[in-house]
Amino acid sequence: MTILITGGSGFIGFNFIKLWQSKNNEKIINIDKKKYSIAKKRNLSNNSNLITYNINVANTNKISKILKKYNPRLVIHFAAESHVDKSLNKPSFFIKNNCYDSSKFLNLIFNYWKNNEIINKNKFRFINISTDEVYGHLNPKDPPFNETTNINPRNPYSVSKSSFDLLCNSYFYAYNFPVITTHCTNNFGKYQSKDKLIPLVIKKAINFKKIPVYGDGQQIRDWLFVKDHCFAILKIIKKGIPGNKYNIGGNNEIKNIDLVILICKILDKLIYKKKVKNFDELITFVKDRPGHDQRYSINSTKIKKELNWESKSNFKKSLISTIKWYIKN
């Protein structure tokens, strides 16, 4: 048997591949247009159980041939442009990649599912990996997002993701296509891109450069250890119900400035030879980005109750292990 994933060379997709391979012998076909420079550290090389094709998800001709050759029983769509700051500068690029290109891929997989006589149509799943940012933002005392929260995207990135989510939803209702959508909070862990908050802070600090913090740093995020997220996806593959949405949160809400200070304090204990007394001396407040959402928070009651999943990692311990990995790598 075979599964197909998109974006497996990226942060969450790669961590999922590692977890999947530790538990299954099934072949993985990875569709990813990017040849990441960090791929060597991620050790994402082709082997008997992993084959990567460096092509865009919109390349329906090539992917059709891949589908015909391997007949995957499961598709997990991780691939997305995911940096809010970049989406503010190139909104049309994000709409094209996350919505239009993904729509071509969705329609291709739908027709594959509809016309394929080999796969078990009732057990087939298309898992759409999305984000909590489609819900918009919360005020400090608002209840967390749940699966019935109205979408209210406030930047081009979240608009592109919510648009594709709605399209996936329409394929379920119009064609009974077995789509499941997930909405996760901010992920962290090994192998993350260096322009994301946690690795960025670590990189700036250990190179004794200014650590930029947007605005007053009071924005609140719920942090999810990537391994916990991957275990949630495994649960959804096994027990998730088509047509449903599942929110995946870490129950680790913290202000951006407090997280940055915490990382600095951990680094103070791990690194002895340094040019500053304390790493938090490097913190510099910079102009806030446009439309910066105040708070994200996820209510994970549904996935806990229905699929018996919850985040189990200790936030500080996971953060320390992540920081140690970045120092080493």
Model confidence pLDDT, tens digit, residues 208-257: 999 999 999 999 999 999 999 999 999 999 999 999 999 999 999 999 99
**pLDDT reported for residue 82:** 86
Angle subtended by helix axes 226-239 and 11-23, to nearest 10: 60
Categorize the per-residue pLDDT at 46 as very low, low, confident or very high, splitting at 50, 70 and 90.
low
Q: Is the dihedral of CA 95, 98, 100, 101 positive or negative?
A: positive
**pLDDT reported for residue 38:** 45
Rounded CA-CA distance 233/182 in Å is: 8
Categorize the per-residue pLDDT at 1 as very low, low, confident or very high, splitting at 50, 70 and 90.
confident
Q: What are phi and psi of 163, to 5 degrees?
A: -60, -45
Identify whether the C-beta of residue 225 lies closer than 8 Å to the C-beta of residue 188: yes
**pLDDT reported for residue 173:** 98
Say yes or no to pLDDT of 159 above 80: yes
Rounded CA-CA distance 187/59 in Å is: 29
**pLDDT reported for residue 26:** 93
pTM, 2 dp: 0.95
189-202 tens-digit pLDDT = 999 988 899 999 99
Rounded CA-CA distance 243/89 in Å is: 33
Q: How many CB atoms sit inside 10 A of residue 139's CB?
A: 8
**pLDDT reported for residue 43:** 60
Say yes or no to pLDDT of 40 above 60: no
**pLDDT reported for residue 291:** 83
Say yes or no to pLDDT of 317 above 90: yes
8-39 tens-digit pLDDT = 999 999 999 999 999 999 999 999 997 654 44
Average pLDDT, the chain: 94
**b (16+ CB within 10 A) / e for 272-311:** eeeeeeebbebbeeeeeeeeebebbbbbbebbbeebebbb
The tokens describing 278, both together, are 């304390």
Rounded CA-CA distance 197/205 in Å is: 12
Catalytic residue ranges = 132-133, 157
Categorize the per-residue pLDDT at 102 as very low, low, confident or very high, splitting at 50, 70 and 90.
very high
What is the rounded average pLDDT of the residues 153-158? Answer: 95
Say yes or no to pLDDT of 266 above 80: yes
**pLDDT reported for residue 44:** 62
Say yes or no to pLDDT of 48 above 90: no
Domain ranges of the chain: 2-191+223-251+297-312
Look up the CATH number of domain 2-191+223-251+297-312: 3.40.50.720
Categorize the per-residue pLDDT at 47 as very low, low, confident or very high, splitting at 50, 70 and 90.
low
